[in-house]
Amino acid sequence: MVVMKFGGTSLGNASRIRQVAGLIGRRNDCFVVCSAMSGVTNTLVDTAGYWKSGDHEQAGQLISGLRKHFEQTCYELFDDEEATTNAAGIVNDHFANVYNRLRSGYDLNNENWLLALGEIVTSEIIALYLNAINIPVTLLNALDFTVTGSDGEPSVEDMRQRIKALTGEKPAGRFLTQGYICLDHQGNVANLKRGGSDYTATLAGAALQAAIIEIWTDIDGVRNNDPRLVEDTFPIRELSFDEAAELAYFGAKILHPSCVWPASSNRIPIHLKNTMEPEAPGTIIRSGIQRKGITAVAAKEGITVIRIRSDRMLNAYGFLSRIFAIFEKYETPIDVVTTSEVSVSVTVDNDSHIGEIEKELTGLGKVRIESGQAIVCVVGDILEQHQDRAVRILDSLRHFNVKMISYGGSRNNITVVVPHEEIAGILSSLNSFLFGSPLKTNDTWLISQE
Ligand code: ADP
Ligand code: ASP
Ligand code: MG
CATH number of this structure's domain 2-218, picked from the four choices 3.40.640.10, 3.40.1160.10, 3.30.70.1230, 3.40.50.2000: 3.40.1160.10
Contact call for residues 245 and 287 (beta carbons, < 8 A): no
**How far apart are the C-alpha atoms of 154 and 164, rounded to whole Å?**
16
Q: Which ligand is nearest to the CA of 195?
A: 2
The whole-number average pLDDT for the span 270-287 is 96
CA atoms in the 13 A half-sphere facing the CB of 412 = 22
Q: Report the nearest-CA residue for atom 6 of ligand 1.
A: 254
Q: Of 295-309, 371-385, 416-430, where does mean pLDDT reach its minimum?
A: 371-385
* Phi/psi of residue 427, nearest 5 degrees: -65, -40
All structural domains of the chain with their residue ranges: 2-218, 295-445
Q: Report the nearest-CA residue for atom 7 of ligand 2.
A: 195
Q: Is residue 316 pLDDT above 80, yes or no?
A: no
More confident residue, 19 or 290: 19
**pLDDT tens-place string over residues 81-135:** 899 999 999 999 999 999 998 888 899 999 999 999 999 999 999 999 999 999 9
The whole-number pLDDT of residue 388 equals: 80
Q: Report the nearest-CA residue for atom 16 of ligand 1.
A: 228
Distances, alpha carbon 326 to alpha carbons 175, 225, 426, in Å = 43, 35, 32
**Cα angle vertex 393, ends 389, 395, to 5°?**
115
**How far apart are the C-alpha atoms of 101 and 111, rounded to whole Å?**
10
**pLDDT tens-place string over residues 140-191:** 999 999 999 998 999 999 999 999 999 998 899 999 999 999 999 999 999 9
Q: Report the nearest-CA residue for atom 4 of ligand 2.
A: 41
Ligand 2 binding pocket includes 47 (Cβ within 6 Å): no
The whole-number pLDDT of residue 368 equals: 97
The whole-number pLDDT of residue 97 equals: 93
Percent of the chain with pLDDT over 90: 82
What is the helix, strand, coil percentage profile of the chain, to 5?
A: 45, 20, 35
Q: Is residue 213 pLDDT above 90, yes or no?
A: yes
Beta strands in 229-293 (DSSP E): 238-240, 270-274, 283-286
Of 252, 195, 261, give the one whose Cα is nearest residue 222.
Answer: 252
Q: Report the nearest-CA residue for atom 4 of ligand 1.
A: 7
pLDDT-derived band at 210 (thresholds 50, 70, 90) equals very high
Q: Is residue 333 pLDDT above 80, yes or no?
A: yes
pLDDT-derived band at 384 (thresholds 50, 70, 90) equals low
The whole-number pLDDT of residue 190 equals: 97
- Under DSSP, the state recorded for 368 is E
Give the list of residues 6+ apart from residue 78 with CB closer than 8 angstroms, or none.
84, 87, 128, 129, 132
The whole-number pLDDT of residue 445 equals: 42
The whole-number average pLDDT for the span 422-439 is 85
The whole-number pLDDT of residue 413 equals: 87
Ligand 2 binding pocket includes 178 (Cβ within 6 Å): no
Give the pairing of strands 2-6 and 30-34: parallel
The whole-number pLDDT of residue 448 equals: 40
The whole-number pLDDT of residue 19 equals: 97
Ligand 1 binding pocket includes 9 (Cβ within 6 Å): yes
The whole-number average pLDDT for the span 335-357 is 94
- Residue 6 Cα: closest atom of ligand 1: 3
- Residue 195 Cα: closest atom of ligand 2: 8
Ligand 2 binding pocket includes 257 (Cβ within 6 Å): no
- Residue 216 Cα: closest atom of ligand 1: 3
pLDDT, averaged across the chain: 92
112, 114, 177, 194: residue to mutate for ligand 2 pocket, most atoms within 8 A of CB? 194
State the distance between the two ends of the chain, measured CA to CA, in whole angstroms: 31
pLDDT-derived band at 285 (thresholds 50, 70, 90) equals very high
- Adjacent-strand bridge partners of 296: 379
Ligand 1 binding pocket includes 286 (Cβ within 6 Å): no
Q: Which ligand is nearest to the CA of 36?
A: 2
Ligand 3 mean position, distance from CA 194 (Å): 8
* pTM of structure: 0.92
The whole-number average pLDDT for the span 379-387 is 73
- Residue 222 Cα: closest atom of ligand 1: 24
Contact call for residues 33 and 204 (beta carbons, < 8 A): yes
**How far apart are the C-alpha atoms of 384 and 381, rounded to whole Å?**
6
The whole-number pLDDT of residue 189 equals: 97
Q: Is residue 446 pLDDT above 60, yes or no?
A: no
Q: Report the nearest-CA residue for atom 7 of ligand 1.
A: 254
How many residues appear in the chain? Answer: 450
Q: Which ligand is nearest to the CA of 216?
A: 1
Ligand 1 binding pocket includes 252 (Cβ within 6 Å): yes
- Residue 296 Cα: closest atom of ligand 1: 23
The whole-number pLDDT of residue 440 equals: 42
**pLDDT tens-place string over residues 3-53:** 999 999 999 999 999 999 999 999 999 999 999 999 999 999 999 999 999
Ligand 1 binding pocket includes 7 (Cβ within 6 Å): yes
**How far apart are the C-alpha atoms of 222 and 272, rounded to whole Å?**
7
DSSP string, 54-77: T-HHHHHHHHHHHHHHHHHHHHHH
Architecture of domain 295-445: 2-Layer Sandwich (3.30)
